[in-house]
Amino acid sequence: MRQDMIKLKEELELRGLKFTRQRKVIAQKIFSMRKHFTAEELYSMLRKKHHVSRATIYRTLDVLASMGFVEVHDFGQGRRYYESISGKTSHCHFICTGCMKIIEFPSDEIKDIINRMARKHNFTVNRYSINVYGLCEECAKKMKKQPGDA
């Protein structure tokens, strides 16, 4: 995480932006997280202890995304999800359309297919993120139950 903070400070300075206390607190939290989150979830985690405003959260997320420190996902449902790319490799997501649970997984088989197709099309892959929609085990069980079942 320390290396990410140094890179962030350098990137901000290159763009003429300040490395404020609020940006530092937000970035530290994001870089320490290993799950997907919404801006509102991040705001809830930081607002009381660090007195960070909702607007600052949204602006900082936009800045971090534009610099490549976070990835933005739209898994449907009209919400944006974020994830830190710090230390992460390319991966896939199973997204439950019932409860919006996100299951992240790497796949060497998918990576091999992507690399093979990239070579075929003379394309250089930097990273990828694949989304697969369906139902998690719990939601699939709920769907199988019929009204009146015990």
Question: HSE of 3 in the Cβ direction (CA atoms, 13 Å)?
Answer: 2
Q: What is the pLDDT of residue 24?
A: 93
List strands edge to edge, sheet with 129-134: 102-105, 91-96, 129-134
Does 82 score more than 60 pLDDT?
yes
Amino acid identity for residue 125 in this structure:
V
pTM to 2 decimal places: 0.74
- Summarised one tens digit per residue, pLDDT across range 122-150 is 999 988 888 899 999 999 998 887 565 55
Question: What CATH topology corresponds to 1-88?
Answer: Arc Repressor Mutant, subunit A (1.10.10)
Domains 1-88 and 90-150 share a fold: no
CATH class held by domain 90-150: alpha beta
Q: Which of 52-56, 78-82, 88-92, 137-141 has the lowest mean pLDDT?
A: 88-92
Give counts: helices (H), strands (E), the chain.
6, 5
pLDDT band for position 17 (50/70/90)? Answer: very high
Domain boundaries, given as residue ranges, for the chain? 1-88, 90-150
CA distance 6 to 9: 5
